[in-house]
Structure 1
Amino acid sequence: MSENQNLKELVKQRYNELALNAEALKGCCCGVNPKGSSKRVFTIMSEDYKNLEGYEPDADLGVGCGLPTQYAKIKEGDTVVDLGSGAGNDCFIARAEVGENGSVIGIDFSPRMIARARANARKRGYANIRFIEGDIESMPLENNVADVVVSNCVLNLLPKKDIIFKEIYRVLKQGGHFCISDVVLEGVFPKEFTDNAAMYAGCIASAIQKEDYLSEIKKAGFKNICIERTKTVVIPDEVLHEHLDENTIRKYKSGSVGIYSITVTGRKL
């Protein structure tokens, strides 16, 4: 198995576990391994969805790093695709915006997340929302099907970001656009940090430099690229000490690394 495939399997396992342990782990994706001894939870990146129309508490696992639907300019009747849809949180918010004449498609590669999202949709009788198990590096969708693509703290987890942005471009209609909240870096992490499995699956060590991230968007063909919002991410000492040794923490803190959640938009012209 290739290194890229190993990383994807690590993330899939982590999110399968998160789906099974959602109540115990209601917090950031940087929380603890559900099989570990500690039950401490840290919501260092998650946003408050409670006041948004369409919010469903049991679909909110707190693993996002932004509010992409807030900046996505979704219109009634749109077809919206959510990448890494998890338990369906952003999909249900998007559904409230597209109305009964629109549709929402959630894609996730975690079978247990898909099962959880489908159960949430069935419980509410939603007919214009569906969840598909699939890899967002090769989406199970035809060309030119989406008016809007959204994603929340997902692309940073996967190694082939260039392929993902090309896939987003492919599935968008001409004139369509994306709105993605994701984690990016400025500066260089210690190697021991980026090699840490928990930090990788926790949305931090897998992130890339902000300029490289924006470059991949441009190379995919998008225009009118705009960072709508930037938020600084601070990793609590408790999380660092849970997953890293003292030497690695010291190297990390002595560096000049910036971790940011950005919400970025771009259009297919």
Structure 2
Amino acid sequence: MTDGLDPAEQRVAVRERYTAIATAGSDGDGCCDPDSGGSCCDSPASTSEQLGYSTAEIEAVAGDANLGLGCGNPTAIAALRPGETVLDLGSGGGFDCFLAGQRVGPEGSVIGVDMTPEMVEKARENAEENDAENVSFRLGEIEHLPVADDSVDVIISNCVINLSADKPRVFEEARRVLRSGGRLTVSDVVRTAEIPEDLRADPESVSACVTGAATIRELEAMLAAAGFEDVEIEPKDDSEEFIREWSDERDPSEYVVSATIEARKP
């Protein structure tokens, strides 16, 4: 597949989209086209139910941390344990971080990293509202994590790695910060078909979790090259139900599907 936007253009497109989401509030339009009229745009809560969050999880986080973003529920597959240190790549308003913080407890900690200053500010406000003393947020890019070597037990992420123009570097950084035996548990989209050239060059499509997706085989190769073991990538059969609602002009489920991506650092 030929390239669309260059890395700088892609970074700008992503930053502008999520700056707008952070400043507009919780309107649930992260991967969904708000003009489409689809149910994924109804509310963050209804979107989250489609993505696999339980009612208890949705109600467990106060404020507007839940922006209705993502393509799965990474905390559901992470098997988090009390006392662990968790890192969330592209933490947004902090919803997954707060759920993770509740699972690792006061002896554990959660770090959220996001490239958008407005989103980090929102997340920090949400941390105060949720009294989440074991959760913190840092401004940074997932290709250059502001996190120490060998300091994290679990990495989670929700439909963010597809937005990176340098995915191999993301996985190299993930391996660097993970402790030996640490695990990567990610919800993201994978490419299942060739994406039309006009979509690959469209900033809106790139920033909306569609055209930046890699295939399962490509992701497996990237993770292996970064030094991960026990790589498992499992597509979600029912994800087309919400992916097709991301746009009213085309059906994104023709090109991408949501998947769980798991791997372990030796």
Deviation at 1:30, TM superposition (A): 2.8
Q: Highest Rg: 1 or 2?
A: 1
Tell me the secondary structure at the aligned position of residue 66 of structure 1: coil
Q: Aligned AA for 1:203?
A: C
Q: Which moved more, 1:164-173 or 1:122-131?
A: 122-131
Segments of 4+ moved more than 3 angstroms: 38-42, 53-57, 234-238
Distance in 2 separating the partners of 1:156 and 1:223: 20
- Structure 2 residue 61 is matched with structure 1 residue 59: no
The residue aligned with 1:268 is: 265
Give the Cα separation in 2 of the matches to 1:39 and 1:112. Answer: 25
**TM-score for both structures, normalised by structure 2:** 0.86
Alignment correspondent of 2:44: none
Residue 189 to residue 94, structure 1, CA distance change in 2 (3 Å): same
Distance 1:237 1:88, change over 3 A: closer
1:213 and 2:210 are equivalent in the alignment: no
Deviations 1:52-80 (A, max 9, x none): 28434621111110111111111100000
Q: Deviations over 1:95-115 (max 9, x none)?
A: 011001000000000111101
Task: Give unmatched runs, 5+ long, in structure 2.
Answer: 42-46
When the two structures are aligned, how many residues end up with a matched partner? 251
Instruction: Note if contact 2:63-2:130 (Cα within 8 Å) is conserved in structure 1.
Output: no
CA apart distance, 1:170: 0.3
- Residues 27 and 42 (structure 1 numbering): CA distance in 2 closer, same or farther, change over 3 Å? farther
Structure 2 vs 1, CA of residues 238 and 48 (structure 1 numbering), >3 Å: closer, same or farther?
closer
1:125–1:55 distance in 2 versus 1, CA, 3 Å = closer
Q: Look up the match of 1:233.
A: 240
Q: CA deviation at 1:258?
A: 4.1
**Distance across 1 between alignment mates of 2:166 and 2:209:** 15
Percent of matched pairs sharing the same residue: 34
Q: Which consecutive unaligned segments of at least 5 residues does structure 1 have?
A: 33-37, 242-248
Determine if contact 1:27/1:41 at 8 Å carries over to the other structure.
no
Which residue identity lines up with residue 61 of structure 1 in the other structure?
L
- The answer (yes or no) to whether the contact 1:30–1:203 under 8 Å persists in 2 is no
Aligned residue in 1 for 2:132: 126
Cα displacement (A) at 1:40: 4.1
Partner of 1:114: 120
Question: In the alignment, is residue 17 of structure 1 matched against residue 14 of structure 2?
Answer: no
> Are the counterparts in 1 of residues 87 and 110 from structure 2 also a CA contact under 8 Å?
yes
| RMSD value, Cα | 2.4
The answer for the alignment partner of 1:26 in structure 2 is: 28
Match of 2:166? 160
